[in-house]
């Protein structure tokens, strides 16, 4: 059976809970990434300061965090269109054409999500007023989040989210 032209989209509460799951997974990865860079800095002779602490520039830490988060999401989205949080909440990332996202789309989505967050989260809240329930970065990357049906259940009607 063909996929519907207008698949159901998850409501904001479902998206936020999936995002919370993913934050709990990516935060330790960010900490490990920063620790690795600190270790490399120490090994390369940029050892501890006078207080005996290896210090990193705050902008470098932010860059490491951004790159780690982008790598986390990109890897999962390119692998099967879902992070672990998205799998738990039956959300999947697809292109506007229903196909898996390309590497270019995933990178644009990550950069666009950072921009959406930098604008006080307005890019994320946009799904509350958009008739297609899309974020700003959905439009930028030509991707969107869709709600997958429950295993063994009939497909839900378009644009409904019974679990939120």
**pLDDT tens per residue across all 164 residues of the chain:** 444 467 899 999 999 999 999 999 999 999 999 999 988 887 887 766 656 666 788 999 999 999 999 999 999 999 999 999 999 999 999 999 999 999 999 999 999 999 999 999 999 999 999 999 999 999 999 999 999 998 876 555 555 555 55
Query: Would you state the torsion angle of the CA atoms of residues 123, 129, 132, 136, taken in this order, to the nearest 10 degrees?
Result: -10
Query: What confidence score (pLDDT) does residue 17 get?
Result: 97
Query: What confidence score (pLDDT) does residue 81 get?
Result: 97
Helices 12-43 and 58-80: angle between axes, nearest 10 degrees: 130
8, 156 Cβ separation under 8 angstroms: yes
Alpha helices (H) along 44-164: 58-80, 84-88, 103-118, 122-125, 136-141
Query: What confidence score (pLDDT) does residue 158 get?
Result: 56
Report the C-alpha gap between 35 and 1 in whole angstroms: 49
Query: Would you state the torsion angle of the CA atoms of residues 95, 93, 113, 30, taken in this order, to the nearest 10 degrees?
Result: -140
Report the C-alpha gap between 43 and 22 in whole angstroms: 32
Query: What confidence score (pLDDT) does residue 56 get?
Result: 82
Q: Tell me the domain boundaries of the chain.
A: 12-147
Do strands 143-147 and 91-95 pair parallel, antiparallel, or not at all (unpaired)? Answer: antiparallel
77, 109 Cβ separation under 8 angstroms: yes
SS3 state at 133: coil
Query: What confidence score (pLDDT) does residue 2 get?
Result: 47
H-run or E-run covering 91? strand 91-95
20, 89 Cβ separation under 8 angstroms: no
pTM of the model: 0.83
Write out the two tokens for 55.
């210090």
Query: What confidence score (pLDDT) does residue 1 get?
Result: 43
């Amino acid at each position: 059976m063909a996929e519907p032209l207008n698949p159901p989209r998850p409501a904001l509460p479902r998206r936020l809970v999936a995002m919370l799951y993913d934050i709990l997974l990516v935060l330790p990865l960010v900490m490990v990434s920063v620790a690795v860079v600190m270790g490399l800095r120490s090994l390369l002779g940029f050892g501890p300061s006078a207080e005996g602490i290896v210090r990193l520039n705050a902008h470098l830490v932010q860059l490491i965090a951004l790159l780690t988060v982008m790598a986390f999401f990109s890897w999962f989205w390119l692998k099967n269109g879902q992070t672990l949080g998205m799998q738990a909440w039956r959300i999947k990332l697809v292109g506007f054409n229903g196909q898996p996202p390309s590497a270019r789309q995933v990178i644009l989505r990550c950069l666009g999500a950072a921009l959406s967050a930098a604008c006080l989260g307005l890019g994320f809240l946009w799904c509350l007023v958009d008739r297609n329930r899309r974020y700003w970065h959905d439009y930028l990357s030509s991707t969107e989040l869709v709600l997958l049906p429950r295993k063994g259940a009939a497909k839900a009607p378009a644009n409904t989210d019974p679990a939120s």
